[in-house]
Amino acid sequence: MQRSDYLLSQLDVLEAESIHIIREVAAEFERPVLLFSGGKDSVVMLHLAKKAFWPAAIPFPVMHVDTGHNFPEVIEFRDRRVAELGVRLIVASVQESIDKGRVVEETGRWASRNRLQTTTLLDAIEEHRFDAAFGGARRDEEKARAKERVVSFRDEFGQWDPKNQRPELWNLYNTKIRPGEHVRVFPLSNWTELDVWDYIRREGLEIPSIYFAHTRRVFERDGLLLDDNPYANRGEDEPVFEAMVRYRTVGDMSCTGAVKSTAATLDEVIEEIAATRITERGQTRADDRTSEAAMEDRKKEGYF
Amino acid sequence: MVMDILRFATAGSVDDGKSTLIGRLLYDSKSIFEDQLEAVERTSADRGEEYTNLALLTDGLRAEREQGITIDVAYRYFATPRRKFIIADTPGHIQYTRNMVTGASTADLAVILVDARKGILEQSRRHAFLATLLRVPHLVVAINKMDLVDYDEAVYRRIVDEFTAFATKLEIGDLTFIPISALHGDNVVERSNNMPWYDGPSLLHHLEHVHIASDRNLIDVRFPVQYVIRPHKATDPELHDYRGYAGQVAGGVLKPGDEVVHLPSGLTTTITHIDGPNGPVQEAFPPMSVTLRLADDIDISRGDMIARPHNQPRVAQDLDAMVCWMTDARRLTPRMKLIIKHTTRTARAMVKDVHYRLDVNTLHRDERADGLGLNEIGRITLRVTQPLFVDDYSRNRLTGGFILIDEATHGTVAAGMITDAR
């Protein structure tokens, strides 16, 4: 770093911006919570939260909306990471929402618990009276997300109204809400997928093992490589084969596709990401393929 | 070499070729992915459009795609080996002035697109005015569709002269003209062979090399206290007495050993440590987020300000400001009460006076105006319930800017730029 110019790298600038957002929300809201899935983005977010308050502890709990269809490697990682940091973990269970009759399980080959998560998430926010929920979403992920605010208002039904968003200027965030309303906060809004990976490498962060190449029993559906597991509802016409794969995103085992890859180290993964010509959601998520507005529609209902 | 970030705003409508330009920058820097392009091609074909409508890439909302217009600011990202770029893609029409103001508030640079066939239009002047109102340090006038005027230097010269004449009315820091054809790629990424008379850089080359490090205010130390860090259950006895003041540096350079003043108390003390995200640092400057530790135990809380004893912001309750009104739910009128958020301090404010409304197209001041409606800009005086620590916006965007929040709806209803304070 050239000291005379007071230069900061792009990762330093992004880190400073995210820490500012996290502190601002911790200062202005009474009951924030950080949504932690164990995926790479939430790993980075949790790391930034740790830095924001060091040497004090992170002043809010973390919450995982658990569909019950998660990869076991990710759940194992989640529990370990949370224990290392000494933060309180709240698990909001989609299975419980089903058992209570709050939601009805989808059926058929394309059944997924993806959409059901919204109800579980909103119920948990209401139950714990959370007024701000940090999410790891990035604007480069998806075009509806590109329009989302950093501090994004949700009404008493948890809904997002994309046409009536609060303008955000400079580094000032409007944090005014009424009881029953809440905000979603996206500290990684300005990060790209590659920034996240570069930061993971720079900070030496551990991520779940499924992000690296490994051998897995998979089958092909709609161009996605799905893990052969009971939640994926594999049909007789969908033959299983063994392949060298890794995951580019971490979601449900029912709808998250793997990509063929031999990238076994962080450097190899980053090299692969830098060269790829397909978006991470386009390559790996069945849930985003429903329509061009699939994400916008789910977000309006209160999805992550 | 350090790879830094340039944030730039683009203003214009589809007609100006703005989306084509952004599409080309993203495409040529390999930031558009195949599946995104396929989705856009599919939608374009479904609609019977002759060419792939790259605007569909940036129009992220259903309503925008249906109406074929950009409503809201969209943020786009691309990178070259030299820089990461954040584009605030804002709509150009006058009914979206507030969106352009929003996009410009964080921009290092603004790109104004001018159609070479049409020359400087009312909206070009408006965009230039808004960029200077928001103190965007660098302005690029991209004279587009040069292919449609046979790459004629005379056309380019005429537009440059016309714009330069208009620009003398504005305080523009750094003004650059680039003749381009976004459709054909002339002077966008590579220098064009079609315009040998132009000896400047391509647009991308300019974006990659424009010097932004000195745009920050590195002179006036301003540290708005955001959060007080006190470890409660410190297992490490050394942390028992830890008391740190966290925030993002808004101006100047802070170093351990510096004498500082705390506002509002006026008490002076010394910085003993600066903790950065990765441990102690020897200096802190914008936009770093750090934690200061001080030699003396002063009662400091969120909303306070740390500065240098001989270089302090103004402590003021009466603010003169240019404001952009951002809601159609109600008008800004004298005696109106609002919430003001300035740096890390939130207070209540009352509109004491509306001095004039500015016509953003002609810059004419209407002093008979009794208020401001949606997207209108004017000069007002505010009375604030408690002192704010302010600088003129022209001196520091972070300590000179504020937002106003409606007490009833909680909507963000105005952006303000301080011009004077008492």
CA distance A166 to A149: 8
CB atoms within 10 A of CB B408: 8
What's the pLDDT at B110? 96
Rounded to 5, what percent of chain A is helix, strand, coil? 35, 15, 45
CA distance A217 to B398: 54
DSSP output for B46-79: HTT-SS--THHHH--SHHHHHHTS--S-EEEEEE
Q: Which of A84, A9, A76, A8 is nearest to A46 (CA)?
A: A84
Closest CB from B5, B39, B302 relative to A292: B39
Overall size of chain A counted in residues = 304
CB contacts, 8 Å: B44 with chain A: none
Is residue A198 within 8 Å of residue A14, measured between CB atoms? Answer: no
What's the pLDDT at A1? 41
Helices H / strands E in chain A, number of each:
9, 10
Closest CB from B4, B65, B405 relative to A7: B4
Closest CB from A10, A53, A145 relative to B4: A10
Q: Which two tokens stand for residue B174?
A: 């750094």
CB contacts, 8 Å: B39 with chain A: 292
Write the CB contacts of A84 (distance below 8 Å, at least 6 apart in sequence): none
CB contacts, 8 Å: B35 with chain A: 278-279, 282-283
Q: How far is CA B253 from CA B47, B249, B264, in A?
A: 55, 8, 21
CA distance A270 to B253: 35
Cα of first residue to Cα of last residue in chain A, in angstroms, is: 37
pLDDT 10s digits, B133-168 = 999 999 999 999 999 999 999 999 999 999 999 898
CA distance B75 to B9: 9
Is residue B388 within 8 Å of residue B317, measured between CB atoms? Answer: yes
CB contacts, 8 Å: B341 with chain A: 172, 174
Closest CB from A5, A171, A277 relative to B398: A171
CA distance A286 to A299: 16
8 Å CB contact of A146 and B226: no
- Ranges of residues in chain A with a pLDDT under 70 are 1-4, 285-292
8 Å CB contact of B412 and A174: yes
What's the pLDDT at B70? 64
CA distance B32 to B35: 9
Q: At what angle do helices A40-53 and A10-28 cross, to 10 degrees?
A: 70
Q: Which of B111, B75, B80 is nearest to B5 (CA)?
A: B80
DSSP output for B288-313: -EEEEEESS-----TT-EEEBTTB--
pLDDT 10s digits, A194-217 = 999 999 999 999 999 999 999 999
pLDDT 10s digits, B83-92 = 999 999 887 7
8 Å CB contact of B61 and A57: no
CA distance B269 to A87: 35
Domains of chain B, first to last: 4-215 (3.40.50.300), 223-307 (2.40.30.10), 314-421 (2.40.30.10)
What's the pLDDT at A2? 41
Phi/psi zone of residue A239: left (φ > 0), alpha (ψ -120 to 50 degrees), beta? beta
| Per-domain residue ranges of chain A | 8-196+293-301, 205-288
8 Å CB contact of A54 and B33: no
Helices H / strands E in chain B, number of each:
9, 21
The residue-averaged pLDDT of B31-47 equals: 75
What ipTM was assigned to the predicted interfaces of this complex? 0.94
What is the H or E stretch that residue B355 is in?
strand B345-358
Strand partners, A242: A217
Q: In this model, does residue B253 exceed pLDDT 50?
A: yes
What residue in B sits closest to A291 (Cα-Cα)?
A: B39
The answer to whether the peptide bond before residue B264 is cis (omega within 30 degrees of 0) is: yes
CB contacts, 8 Å: A57 with chain B: 231-233
Cα of first residue to Cα of last residue in chain B, in angstroms, is: 44
CA distance B69 to B95: 12
Q: Which residue has the higher pLDDT, B289 or B70?
A: B289
What residue in A sits closest to B87 (Cα-Cα)?
A: A190
For the ranges B9-13, B44-48, B370-374, the lowest mean pLDDT is seen at: B44-48
For the ranges A195-209, B41-55, B200-214, the lowest mean pLDDT is seen at: B41-55
Pick the CATH number of A8-196+293-301 from 3.40.50.720, 4.10.520.10, 3.40.50.620, 3.20.20.450: 3.40.50.620
Q: Which of B375, B378, B363 is nearest to B320 (CA)?
A: B378
Is residue B162 within 8 Å of residue B154, measured between CB atoms? Answer: no
Q: Which of the 8 DSSP states describes residue A68? A: S
Closest CB from B227, B233, B341 relative to A174: B341
CA distance A174 to A164: 14
8 Å CB contact of B86 and A54: no
Q: Which of the 8 DSSP states describes residue A231? A: G
Is residue A263 within 8 Å of residue A213, measured between CB atoms? Answer: yes
**How many angstroms away from the CA of B274 is the closest CA of chain A?**
12
What's the pLDDT at B55? 64
The residue-averaged pLDDT of B26-41 equals: 76
CA distance A295 to B245: 39
CA distance A162 to B64: 11
CB contacts, 8 Å: B105 with chain A: 169-170
At residue B20 the predicted structure's pLDDT band, cuts being 50, 70 and 90, is confident
What's the pLDDT at B149? 97
Q: In this model, does residue B57 exceed pLDDT 80?
A: no
Q: Which two tokens stand for residue A53?
A: 């308050």
Is residue A64 within 8 Å of residue A133, measured between CB atoms? Answer: no
What residue in A sits closest to B402 (Cα-Cα)?
A: A172
8 Å CB contact of B77 and A190: yes
Closest CB from B74, B213, B344 relative to A5: B213
Strand, coil or helix: B236: coil
| Residue owning tokens 């005027």 | B149
